[in-house]
Structure 1
Amino acid sequence: MDKINKKNLIVTGIPRSGTTLTTALIDSLSNSVCLSEPAWQCGIFKKAENIKKVVQQLEEDFLKTRKKIIKQKPIEDRRHEGGVPLTNYIKYSDNGETQKNKHIRSFILDVDNENFLLGMKHNAHYTSILPQLAESDFFSVLAIIRHPIPTILSWQKVNFPISKGRLPGAEYCWPEIKKISSSNDPLLVKQVKIYDLFCERYLSLEDKILLLKYEAILESPAILEKLTSKAYKREIDVANRNKNSHYNFEMSEEIKKYINRYAPHALTLYSLDDY
């Protein structure tokens, strides 16, 4: 897949890899809306009879949401009060403590016409059924990855399930994730294995999805204009968080050791020499 060529877009990626920033950038394109982790979709996965049914329900939900936006009905999303999407869920205090920036409100979202690009972002949920989503004629799929060391370092700072070696949203439809989470491996080993499982999945679907590095977006945010053939209507602050001062970079060597041991797919995508 060379471009985002369908008007319904799945945005996914490794947790804390820049998918929230990517969602904000897509939402800032002309005649485009991109929603960040629509909470109502989580129930589709919890009640899943089978993956085929989940994909069908997601397609129906995209159609329903599209109609609501066209009819100017309010949509729940994570945005600032003025309607500008968040670029990062995490706030850092002066002492390095983190707080999740929820900001879930209802908004009227403006589009130019009914053929607007509608994207929605979920990390664990969508990736758990990505092979089936990639086969759908309904969706284009964009997956975001980020260098493993700053990604895993960020997992140590956030109060998310991944900081404890779990991704509950993926466990309904992805047995391999559940197997890692329930193992007796040390926490850091679990996290490295989870990171690599995401990489393995994306690499296996590389001919059917768009796989994009966070670092490439930082270098040239215009890459999303090229992929969608749309121009930005709003400026979004793009900040590099790979060198975040709140990360404990003293853990880098230990993470490298486990990546070399347990993450062969990550090593095909990134060099560890950068950290």
Structure 2
Amino acid sequence: MTFLLTGVPRAGTTLCCNILNNQKVFLALHEPINPSKLIPDTRTPAYLQIKDKVLEIKKSISLGLPIELGDAKQGLAVNNPVGLNVDAATGKRKLQAVRGSVLLKQYIGKNVQLVIKQNALFTALLTELRREFPIVCVVRNPVDVLLSWWTISLPVSRGRLPAGEQNSALLASRLRGLDELNRQFTIYEWFCESYEPYRQNTVRYEDIIITNGQALVEKFNITSPSLSELAYQERHFPEDVLHKLRAAQNHITSMNTFGFYTKQEITDRLQQVLSQQ
């Protein structure tokens, strides 16, 4: 069986891959599908191209052929695609992942439960992909998501979501004409709205941490998991980011998370971050 894993960018889907790779007969891959390589405007819809790509990935692993991953340097051990070092020119943390090919010799000929992770691409095609694969979605408190987006150098930090906009006409239309900050709010709400019909298949990052991964593995029907202690990684933020957070807090507490987070949970997290800085 092949599972798909998706979620809000910077909501912990890479952590989920690490947890799953510690389980017996599970193999979780970090972004093995390059959205830019999907062929637009063809008779083969994007979700069917993804289905074909999944079959190709499975065959390559079984035969010992190289596959592409979102981070070829760290491979299955990818911890965080964004580094901790801050770029002096932008003041933001830079992407350290380098896409490339890897060879997974240890899985040649083995029967594994494959998990493929992609964020925006799978979310944009969620309705169609659900007909083909079981899917697990990951969400996170908007306070933490936005803080991450504001401190990294990725398209979403500029209010852009290329794979989402290219494959979801709804998202593209909603973003049109908005400024950067409001595009980010809209992107976050679009993710939550997309997952709302599949609430039973959606897990919160906070619950994954609190349960040391149990909340995640239950979504994959893993009955005897191998789990390790997890903890929050509190970070300190520069004053300009905190100022931005204070200025936007009324908008943030009014965001529509489609029931995944209450206004009180968002307010409490805001107060916690601002009081610790």
Letter in structure 1 aligned against 2:206 = E
Percent sequence identity is 22
Give yes or no for contact 2:175–2:186 (8 Å, CA) kept in 1.
no
Q: Which has the higher contact order (CA 8 A, sep 6+)?
A: 1
Select the residue among 239, 256, 265 that pairs with 1:264.
256
More deviation, 247-256/158-167: 247-256
Q: Which runs of 5+ in 1 are unaligned?
A: 1-6
Give yes or no for contact 1:33–1:118 (8 Å, CA) kept in 2.
yes
User: Are 1:155 and 2:149 an aligned pair?
Assistant: yes
Secondary structure of 1:212's partner?
A: strand
1:205 alignment partner in structure 2? 198
Q: Distance in 1 between matches of 2:2 and 2:138?
A: 17
1:86 alignment partner in structure 2? 78
Q: Under a length normalisation based on structure 1, what TM-score does the superposition of the two structures give? A: 0.82
More deviation, 22-31/70-79: 70-79
Q: Distance in 1 between matches of 2:105 and 2:251?
A: 44
Select the residue among 96, 99, 112 that pairs with 1:116.
112
User: Are 1:70 and 2:62 an aligned pair?
Assistant: yes
Q: Distance in 2 between matches of 1:269 and 1:152?
A: 14
Q: Which runs of 5+ in 2 are unaligned?
A: 271-277
Q: Under a length normalisation based on structure 2, what TM-score does the superposition of the two structures give? A: 0.81
Alignment of 1:39-58 (within 5 A): 39-44=33-38, 46-49=39-42, 53-58=45-50
Secondary structure of 1:206's partner?
A: helix
Q: Distance in 2 between matches of 1:194 and 1:84?
A: 28
With over 3 angstroms needed to count, the CA separation of the structure-2 counterparts of 1:118 and 1:230, relative to structure 1, is farther
Letter in structure 2 aligned against 1:99 = K
How far the C-alpha of 1:133 sits from its partner, in A, is: 1.2
C-alpha distance after superposition, 1:51-80 (max 9, x if no partner): x72222222221121111112222232457
With over 3 angstroms needed to count, the CA separation of the structure-2 counterparts of 1:57 and 1:218, relative to structure 1, is same
2:95 alignment partner in structure 1? 100
Give yes or no for contact 2:72–2:98 (8 Å, CA) kept in 1.
yes
C-alpha distance after superposition, 1:9-66 (max 9, x if no partner): 111111111111112222222111111112445422x52537x722222222211211
Give yes or no for contact 2:71–2:98 (8 Å, CA) kept in 1.
yes
